[in-house]
């Protein structure tokens, strides 16, 4: 038990320290913009946690971050850097709209699981491509997955403008967004069964996201599949020697990773926006997901906590803008947290090396 607590402390202390330092340094930037850090940070907290509807909006912001954070963390465990969360998220979103349009006559209780699975499936395919190329041809997954982001963006824009446009499917005038998913395909909102959530648009996707985090934890640490994936991440050649297929696990891990990001996109469509807009830029959740995974130390439960932190900062920055503090300050704080977390890895690397040198192991 004591060992466990020590282990937890060891893993939590650096992120907490990094967060504290980041807020401290962030306050310098707040002062530079002629504002008070106290006003800024109390606005940040009040805006994100001040009352239940505000907390609901924070959880709403947290939901996709949990999914993309899990996606990145899961791939990291098998030694892969999935930078394609953006594309997988978008493909998940567009798959959901497509499935909801094609199957709109099905009753809600069947349709909702199907469209969410369609989103996860779309993301899994999009994540599987770099996995396959890495496993079979040795193409670096970073290059492939980042390029697939842009293919996903422009493919989505094309589908929204032509194939899935209301003008094509419903005969309305040309719109800059896709058809809306039908009413009965939408996720339940919290304020429909818990009125205390007031104006918040929080939907049950948050529960699905938490379930995913627990499920991924179980998969990684309690099953053979998870053991194999982690083993490939630690040392692929040793694993192969032990009878674990490298290529199978790389493809599998990228598909699960992509599926998680895709499900994130699917839940945003089914719970919040109900349609996909034509967009000139990537949505941003995939990239923030990298930071979420990093702060969460690539542990599914750590990802939950760090996604909440990013959700708080993102939603709280609204109130900060009300107080006249530019939203970029929050971006600066996020950046500093990441630098410190990355710095921790460097620090650890140096200390272990030093220890090894002391022991005379470096020879």
Give the interface segment with other proteins, choosing from 97-105, 181-189, 199-207, 250-258 (CB under 8 A).
199-207
Verify binding: residue 310, other proteins, rule CB under 8 A: no
Verify binding: residue 60, other proteins, rule CB under 8 A: yes
In whole angstroms, how far apart are CA 270 and each of 234, 248, 256? 37, 32, 20
Nearer to other proteins, 36 or 245 (CB): 36
Verify binding: residue 86, other proteins, rule CB under 8 A: no
Among the listed residues 7, 8, 12, 31, the single contact to other proteins using CB under 8 A: 31
Nearer to other proteins, 108 or 324 (CB): 324
Neighbouring CB atoms inside 10 A of 16's CB total 10
Task: Report residue 206: phi and psi, to 5°.
Answer: -60, -35
Among the listed residues 104, 201, 245, 247, the single contact to other proteins using CB under 8 A: 201
Contact call for residues 344 and 14 (beta carbons, < 8 A): yes
In whole angstroms, how far apart are CA 230 and each of 134, 140, 253, 295, 344? 17, 19, 10, 19, 22
Tell the smallest beta-carbon distance from residue 82 to other proteins (Å): 20
DSSP state of 182: P
DSSP state of 273: I
Q: Using alpha carbons only, how large is the chain's radius of gyration in Å?
A: 22
Cα–Cα dist 195/197, whole Å: 5
Tell the smallest beta-carbon distance from residue 348 to other proteins (Å): 13
Tell the smallest beta-carbon distance from residue 164 to other proteins (Å): 14
Q: 180: which 2 tokens?
A: 């809306």
Verify binding: residue 168, other proteins, rule CB under 8 A: no
Q: 222: which 2 tokens?
A: 């309690």
Among the listed residues 8, 12, 20, 347, the single contact to other proteins using CB under 8 A: 20
Nearer to other proteins, 31 or 196 (CB): 31
Give the interface segment with other proteins, choosing from 76-84, 125-133, 229-237, 319-327 (CB under 8 A).
319-327
Q: Which of residues 175-194 bind other proteins (CB under 8 A)?
A: 175-177, 180
Nearer to other proteins, 167 or 223 (CB): 167
Among the listed residues 136, 140, 248, 327, the single contact to other proteins using CB under 8 A: 327
Nearer to other proteins, 110 or 176 (CB): 176
Residue of 85, 84, 74, 75 whose CA lies nearest to 144 = 84
Task: Report residue 203: phi and psi, to 5°.
Answer: -120, 175
Verify binding: residue 13, other proteins, rule CB under 8 A: yes
Verify binding: residue 34, other proteins, rule CB under 8 A: yes
The angle that helices 285-295 and 328-359 make with each other, rounded to 10 degrees, is 40
Verify binding: residue 221, other proteins, rule CB under 8 A: no
Residue of 18, 60, 15, 34 whose CA lies nearest to 318 = 60
Nearer to other proteins, 78 or 165 (CB): 165
Residue of 299, 333, 302, 340 whose CA lies nearest to 77 = 299
Locate tokens 């978008």: which residue?
90
H helix and E strand count, the chain: 15, 0
The angle that helices 52-77 and 37-49 make with each other, rounded to 10 degrees, is 90
Q: 243: which 2 tokens?
A: 């009878």
Q: Which of residues 249-308 bind other proteins (CB under 8 A)?
A: 268, 272-275, 277-281, 283-285
Tell the smallest beta-carbon distance from residue 75 to other proteins (Å): 23
Verify binding: residue 53, other proteins, rule CB under 8 A: yes
Residues that bind other proteins (CB under 8 A): 6, 13, 17, 20-21, 24, 27, 31, 34-39, 53, 57, 60-61, 154, 157, 161, 173-177, 180, 198-201, 268, 272-275, 277-281, 283-285, 314-315, 318, 321-322, 324, 327
């Amino acid at each position: 038990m004591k060992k466990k607590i020590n282990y937890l402390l060891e893993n939590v202390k650096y992120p907490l320290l990094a967060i504290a330092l980041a807020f401290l340094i962030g306050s310098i930037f707040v002062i530079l913009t002629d504002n008070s850090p106290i006003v800024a940070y109390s606005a940040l907290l009040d805006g994100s946690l001040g009352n239940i509807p505000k907390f609901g909006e924070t959880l709403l912001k947290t939901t996709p971050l949990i999914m993309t954070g899990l996606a990145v963390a899961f791939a990291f465990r098998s030694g892969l850097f999935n930078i394609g969360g953006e594309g997988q998220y978008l493909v998940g979103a567009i798959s959901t709209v497509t499935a909801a349009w094609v199957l709109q006559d099905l009753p809600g209780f069947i349709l909702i699981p199907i469209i969410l699975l369609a989103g996860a499936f779309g993301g899994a395919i999009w994540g599987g491509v770099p996995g396959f190329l890495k496993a079979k041809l040795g193409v670096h997954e970073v290059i492939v997955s980042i390029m697939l982001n842009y293919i996903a963006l422009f493919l989505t824009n094309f589908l929204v403008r032509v194939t899935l446009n209301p003008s094509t499917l419903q005969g309305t005038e040309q719109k800059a967004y896709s058809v809306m998913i039908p009413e009965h395909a939408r996720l339940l909102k919290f304020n429909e069964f818990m009125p205390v959530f007031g104006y918040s648009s929080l939907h049950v996707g948050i529960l699905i996201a938490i379930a995913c985090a627990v499920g991924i934890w179980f998969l990684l640490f309690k099953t053979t599949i998870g053991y194999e994936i982690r083993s490939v991440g630690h040392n692929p050649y040793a694993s192969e020697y032990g009878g674990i297929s490298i290529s199978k696990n790389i493809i599998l891990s990228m598909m699960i990773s992509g599926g998680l990001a895709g499900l994130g996109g699917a839940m945003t469509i089914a719970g919040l926006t109900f349609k996909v807009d034509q967009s000139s830029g990537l949505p941003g959740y995939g990239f923030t997901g990298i930071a979420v995974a990093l702060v969460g130390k690539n542990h599914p439960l750590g990802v939950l906590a760090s996604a909440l932190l990013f959700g708080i900062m993102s939603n709280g920055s609204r109130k900060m803008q009300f107080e006249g503090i530019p939203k970029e300050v929050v971006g600066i704080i996020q950046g500093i947290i990441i630098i410190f977390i990355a710095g921790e890895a460097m620090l650890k690397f140096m200390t272990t090396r030093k220890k090894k040198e002391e022991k005379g192991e470096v020879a």
